[in-house]
Amino acid sequence: MNKQELENEEVRQEEKKAKKKKVRKKKTMLGHIRSIISILLVVGIIGGSYWYYAFQYRTEVEPETNQKVTNTDSVYTMEQYLKTLKRNQTVYKYACDEAEVDNDYGTYVVPGLKSTRTLQVKGDGEAEVCTSMTPQGLAITEDYILVSAYCKTKAHDSVIYVIDKESRRFVKEIVLNTKAHVGGMAYDTMNQILWVTGQGSTWAQANAITLSHLENYSFEDGYHPIEFDMSYNLYKIKRASFMTYHDGALFVGFFTQDNASVIEKYLINADGTLYEKEDMNLKRTVGVTDPVAYAVSMQVISGKVQGMAFYNNKILLTRSWGILPSEVQIFNYSRYGILSTSEAYKTIKFPERLEQIYQDGGSIYALFESGAYAYRMSSINRIDRVVKLKGSKLVK
């Protein structure tokens, strides 16, 4: 083989090596791509499975339980609660009073988050246990903390948990003859009547239970739901999402996700009934049977409002939606004011899934739904207690 042939052979060998190297590089790159795709598929499958389980499955299927009564223990320890609250130092500052360390920092454990004794929807006379009760409404009487909850799977009747204000112990469950969200409660201190939001065929409703009726009711006495003492259709309000009592009136509003909404004011008569107009033509037209209460004023609010409270001359609104941080917006009180987000003089970020708030004395109490079975896996900050806040510092 002459010199030229040797050189040609060397060139061919180099080209062959280069071609093999290019093929190996291509195979390596394809291997990397396949690995990345496999990892993304695995991550997607795991992520999708977790999303389905946390955000959908747990809202549709109740876990089984051997419990026969309403549980009274907390889902999370006090140490876990404090750790959760410390993620938001502003709220922690308003909430945790070292002077009340022996009273769980002023908190009240929400009972029934693991098991609640109630009735199957349209059932009567035979108790069942629900494991998907979701807290919604909050009210405070002279002696009790009251928390309403509904069955997330819609299989059971809604309830009200009665908690002793002083001892902080669970007293009993009040089973309601409805599966509604019961998102709002309000206590008329003058007439000692508890008002609970409801839903009629045409309008929202306000349903009343006298304090004496509430105290005398026992679910164990035949396993029947409590009967409302009064029920009113609320003219113009399609849904009653939250409610509070102030200065002889009920303030009722409804939740909208994006659009502006309203709060309607309904006067309470001296005997505890709601103000009605003489003209009942409209009532007959729409075919409702319960009395129709008429609002005397209205205030415009932004969307995502879940609760309302008054503190001195301030109005507090809670705004919450899904896994996003909640807010407490504070406004100067005005009878005809607009309570939209832009009008708030102070906005405080809160953990997600904040529901109703309630004023009692110098304190504001806050209720969350993140401790419920349906939302535990989809919430970062899980709170299973009614949280006591320092009202004067909150509105300052």
Residue 300 and residue 346 share a domain:
yes
Q: Which of 193, 184, 176 is nearest to 234 (CA)?
A: 184
Domain carrying residue 49 = 1-60
Residue 139 and residue 279 share a domain:
yes
- Select from 30, 60, 90 the last residue of a domain: 60
CB–CB of 198/231 below 8 Å? yes
Domain count, the chain: 2
pTM of the predicted structure, to 2 decimals = 0.89
CB–CB of 285/316 below 8 Å? no
The C-alpha atoms of residue 110 and residue 348 are separated, in whole angstroms, by 24
Indicate if the pLDDT at residue 282 is higher than 60: no
pLDDT value of residue 366: 97
Reported as a pLDDT band with limits 50, 70 and 90, residue 155 is very high
pLDDT value of residue 239: 85
The C-alpha atoms of residue 105 and residue 258 are separated, in whole angstroms, by 35
As a residue count, the chain comes to 396
The C-alpha atoms of residue 239 and residue 360 are separated, in whole angstroms, by 26
Reported as a pLDDT band with limits 50, 70 and 90, residue 17 is low
Residue 50 and residue 35 share a domain:
yes
What percentage of the chain exceeds 70 in pLDDT? 89
- Select from 43, 60, 77 the last residue of a domain: 60
Residue 85 and residue 52 share a domain:
no
Sheet holding 159-164, edge to edge: 133-140, 144-151, 159-164, 170-175
- Select from 29, 60, 91 the last residue of a domain: 60
Reported as a pLDDT band with limits 50, 70 and 90, residue 16 is low
Q: Region 199-211: what's the mean pLDDT?
A: 89
DSSP 189: T
Residue 207 and residue 106 share a domain:
yes
Q: Which of 118, 158, 117, 155 is nearest to 134 (CA)?
A: 158
Q: Tell me which of 12 and 327 has the higher pLDDT.
A: 327
Lowest average pLDDT, out of 299-303, 337-341, 378-382, goes to 337-341
Q: Region 125-147: what's the mean pLDDT?
A: 97
Name the H helices within 68-161: 78-85, 89-95
Residue 331 and residue 211 share a domain:
yes
Between the two ends of the chain, the Cα-to-Cα distance in Å is: 99
Reported as a pLDDT band with limits 50, 70 and 90, residue 10 is low
| Identity of the residue numbered 149 | A
Residue 309 and residue 166 share a domain:
yes
Q: Region 353-374: what's the mean pLDDT?
A: 97
CATH assignment at residue 335: 2.120.10
Residue 98 and residue 46 share a domain:
no
Cβ neighbour number for residue 187 with a 10 Å cutoff: 20
Residues 220-278: pLDDT tens digits?
999 999 999 999 999 878 889 999 999 999 999 988 888 888 999 999 999 999 998 76
Indicate if the pLDDT at residue 2 is higher than 70: no
The C-alpha atoms of residue 135 and residue 235 are separated, in whole angstroms, by 26
Residue 80 and residue 38 share a domain:
no
Residue 139 and residue 192 share a domain:
yes
- Please state the φ and ψ torsions of residue 98, each to the nearest 5 degrees: -60, -25
CA max distance for the chain: 122
Reported as a pLDDT band with limits 50, 70 and 90, residue 202 is confident
Q: Region 6-13: what's the mean pLDDT?
A: 60
pLDDT value of residue 238: 82
Q: Region 112-126: what's the mean pLDDT?
A: 94
pLDDT value of residue 34: 79
The C-alpha atoms of residue 241 and residue 197 are separated, in whole angstroms, by 7
Residue 30 and residue 109 share a domain:
no
- Please state the φ and ψ torsions of residue 42, each to the nearest 5 degrees: -65, -45
User: What are the tokens at 229?
Assistant: 């003492």
pLDDT value of residue 25: 66
Residues 159-177: pLDDT tens digits?
999 999 999 999 999 999 9
pLDDT value of residue 138: 98
Q: Region 288-307: what's the mean pLDDT?
A: 88
**Whose structure tokens read 């109703």?**
356
Q: Tell me which of 220 and 122 has the higher pLDDT.
A: 220
Residue 73 and residue 119 share a domain:
yes
Residues 43-62: pLDDT tens digits?
788 888 888 888 899 999 99
